[in-house]
Amino acid sequence: MSHNNLSYCAMYLLENSKNEDKKQLLNIQKNIEETIFDYSKENSYELAGKKVVAIIYEDGYGCADELDEAFEPFFVPSISLLNIEGRVGAYRLSVNENGEAKTKHASFLIYLGEKNPLLNFDALHSDNGLTSVSQKLQNRAKKDFITKTLLFNEELCDYAKKDTPACRACIDSCESSALIEDKAKKTIKLSFADCVACGKCIGACPSGAMQNSQFNVEGIVAALEEAKGFGVLISTEADLVKLDNGVFENTVIFKVDTYSFLNELYLSLFAFKTGGELYFVSKEVLPIELLGAIENTNMMFGGFGKQAVHFALGGNKAEKSFKSVTKRFENSSLRQAVSKGFKSLSSFNESIIKLSGTMFSSLGVNDSCTVCMGCAFVCKSGAFNANEEQKALTLNASLCTGCGHCEAVCPEKSITIEKGVFRTDEPYFNFVVAAKDELFCCVECGKPFATQKQIAKVASVFNTLFVDEKKRRTLYCCADCKPKVMLEDFVNQKGVSVGN
């Protein structure tokens, strides 16, 4: 293997690893790095133009503010804007000028108005002049490239497509305003022109909906398969030099640009694939959020009598505290993979562990549940499931993100969520029956359409209000038969036949 083809981490291992068989070690390191690259969905494009700014304004929002002299602004009334194409650095605008469509080019867009209708084009927005967005405009112009740094899965997000969004963890963690609430479409827009790739939104996300485009879950799992049971040191290139005594034997390096995207879910994934031989250089180089996540992770694994995360500087080589999980976790979300991993440890007990933060929760359903399945309908993490075969509501508490949508939708207030709780009993990682009931069949056609508890609940409310026997009977009818019974009752009372 030519040294000229080695990465910085591979060169570091060549000089500082205690392995005698350096060729095997370097092959594994190379396979890890190539796998991460192969699975990476990161891409960049050059920010070609940096001067021309199109300022699109609504009536009443024109202003006399001046931008930095480095920019060349031109103003377009929104009523004259026909179309926009392109992206940051290379926009093409079609503008109506005296009845003729003219094409104009711009590096950046600014929208002056009450609401920003140009979110898809990363237009900067202001409703009080240009001064409030001038700094962000300058920050964008400093970049040479725009890079896709994040992957966003709406299907897992506890904010997207909800009438009452409960989770704002990623938005609240973003310090560069790169995550924008699109309230009209009930989703989150990603502005890569403003993203500084700090990774904080990923580390804050409890569902795995937000991922690093370079170090996505699929790629991490595949890369750890290449580690072949070796220990893993997670480090930036800059922090490697702090290891005076070199790298432990049979340990490879997982190079990251930032630590902030790592949380309890990612740390658990690494621990499962290494058998608990996961290292960082030292506590001193890590952000405080990650230190809290490491403490939580070690407590979680400690509940099973296992070790998870260690520090290389000033420490001893860790022994594998359990057999590394060999499953690839294909077609699993991040939370599902972690739940499967803990389930594979098989050393369950009855301990309850209180964690800092809300990455894990304890989830319960009491006897008042009527099995309406509303919770299963709104749950994106898959913690609730409508089990048709068992005619039951089942739940897997380890999948709960603590968003609270199920609590909000439950008509009986049967659901309780205790945030910051991790359990080590087997039911916590399995789907167990939370509520069950027999089906109720329509008294007219015999078709099942609800549960016994649901009908009993409705009847208890309306039985006393419906004095007429026919009206009371409609309480026990399906949606198809209910109007038929009501119409029949009306006809009999009026003494007429249908059709007359």
Residue 118 — φ and ψ, nearest 5°?
-110, 35
What single-letter DSSP state applies at residue 211? E
Tens of pLDDT along the chain (500 residues) come to 445 578 999 999 999 999 999 999 999 999 999 999 999 999 999 887 779 999 999 988 877 778 888 899 999 999 999 999 999 999 999 999 999 999 999 999 999 999 899 998 999 999 988 998 999 999 999 999 999 999 999 999 999 998 877 899 999 999 998 999 998 889 999 999 999 999 999 999 999 999 999 999 999 999 999 988 899 999 999 999 999 888 999 999 999 999 999 999 999 999 999 999 999 999 999 999 999 999 999 999 999 999 999 999 988 999 999 998 877 677 789 999 999 999 999 899 999 999 999 999 999 999 889 888 999 999 999 999 998 888 899 999 999 999 999 999 999 999 999 999 999 999 999 999 999 888 889 999 999 888 888 888 888 888 777 878 888 888 999 999 999 888 887 777 665 554 54
Identify which of 437, 420, 442, 168 has the alpha carbon closest to the alpha carbon of residue 300. Answer: 420
**Which candidate, 487, 455, 447, places its Cα nearest to that of 471?**
487
Specify the 3-state DSSP secondary structure of 123: coil
CA triplet 458, 460, 464: central angle to 5 degrees?
110
Token pair recorded at residue 36: 């991460």
- State the pLDDT at residue 1: 47
Provide the token pair at 346: 């098989």
Which residue ranges make up each domain of the chain? 3-40+214-341, 44-147, 352-436, 439-494
* Domain boundaries 352-436, CATH class: alpha beta
